[in-house]
Amino acid sequence: METLFCPACGSTSIKRNGHTRYGKQNYQCRNCRRQFVADSQRVSPATQELVKKLLLERIPLRGICRVAEVSLTWLLNFIAQLYATLPDDLNAQVLTEQAQIQLFCLDTEMDELWSFVGKKANRQWLWLAFDTTSRQVIAFYVGDRSRLSARTLWQRLPAVYRQHAIFYTDDWEAYKDVIPASQHRVCAKGSGQTNVIERFNCTLRQRVSRLVRKTLSFSKKLSHHIGAIQYFLCHYNLEVQRLSAQPALLL
């Protein structure tokens, strides 16, 4: 039998203490007198790290529950706490004003892709800004496909990009009203100038199950939808930085 420990103080000095009204075995901690059932056991740090890794793959929440042997209630509370700690800057390494030489090669691609929350009638558009040089996502926003959403994405960009970068987008009207004309490059379909971000969109749909348009793993809450996307983007940027820091292999 797996060793029980108190969910309040962590003590393993446990005794049986009758049954609950539902017939489950009740336990009591000899140290702090906390009563609990076996289902209330703390999830170990190792299991929590496993869940964090599984959240980065296209696996439904109930699938994670089966693999990690945790309850859906615990998992929903865990991801809510996890998403609340994510940084707004997506862990992106942004150029500073001192990097004058590099300011002239700040090429950024912007695009949007749709998904839904709750039902397909409730469409949610994911707006992305992607630095083609560093291969990092520098800003994102989830909302409708209006000019207001485009402006919100623009305001979330680091100041150095808003001032110096060149932005490549498709011919969607919302971009033209937000991005200064001198910094905006409208790209025709098939031009190849937005290939990087369009390829990244495919990566997102392959890795984040909530973005798959024909799926049972869609989000029921907008906050969880945004949190899942932000969680993946933060991890993606850190992985890009880690790989770029490694020395190139000599062939």
Averaged over successive runs of 10 residues, the pLDDT of the chain (251 residues) comes to: 72 90 87 82 83 94 91 88 93 68 69 92 95 93 96 95 93 93 90 91 92 82 95 96 72 43
Q: Give the pLDDT score at 105.
A: 62
Q: Give the pLDDT score at 103.
A: 45
Q: Give the pLDDT score at 95.
A: 65
Q: Give the pLDDT score at 173.
A: 93
Q: Give the pLDDT score at 2.
A: 60
Q: Give the pLDDT score at 41.
A: 61
Q: Give the pLDDT score at 101.
A: 42
In DSSP terms, 166 is beta-bridged to 107
Q: Give the pLDDT score at 1.
A: 45
pTM of the complete model beyond 0.85 = no
β 136-143/25-29 pair status: unpaired
